[in-house]
Amino acid sequence: MNIITVTPRGYCKGVINAINLVKQTRKENPNEKITMLGMIVHNKYVVKAFEEIGIKCIDAKNKTRLELLDEVDSGIVIITAHGASEEVTIKAKEKGLKVVDATCIDVIKTHKIVKEHIKHGDVIYIGKKTHPEAEAIVSISNKVHLISNLDDVDNLPKDLFNPLITNQTTMSLYNIEILINACLLK
């Protein structure tokens, strides 16, 4: 049998940075209550390993990050690699929590692009409706229109101004190409 390894392989830089930041946070705060606001990355083995060193993960598919924050009353809260809305950080600080932000740099770049573009037009954001990355982006402005399928494209407002199309960083171009093309034809 031949084994052929593919390069690159393994975790992306955002996941590696998030994992390292969680480890560093535990090391620097060995006795502090630490809560991850959702799965730090979509990998149950990574989450379990952190739970084994006393880092709690709260996650519920039917709750936003802002709603999950209601379950944290003290200590350190970690924003996952997927990011969170600014309201999450504000609310956490108002509750007296220390915030550690493990948001992927590519997600941060997307946030910056969206925030800049909404000054000049609308944003069509291709992403998954229940994904925390999409949740955070959509919270930026009502000028951000989330598209998850072709029906969403059909339901876009007719009066979009100077639209920019961007997408959730975890989505493959192969998976979103049909949606991009449908948006361009609209």
The set of catalytic residues is: 133
Residue 32 C-alpha from the chain's centroid: 25
Q: Which two tokens stand for residue 41?
A: 């990355």
Q: Using DSSP bridges, classify how beta strands 164-167 and 76-79 pair: parallel, antiparallel or unpaired.
A: unpaired
Residues forming a β-bridge with 146: 125
Helix (H, G, I), strand (E, B) or coil at 92: helix
Q: Please list, in sequence order, all residues whose beta carbon lies within 8 angstroms of the beta carbon of residue 117, skipping any fewer than 6 positions away.
A: 123, 164
Q: Please list, in sequence order, all residues whose beta carbon lies within 8 angstroms of the beta carbon of residue 129, skipping any fewer than 6 positions away.
A: 146, 148
Query: Could you give the strand order of the β-sheet that contains 144-147, starting from the edge strand earlier in sequence?
Result: 144-147, 123-126, 164-167
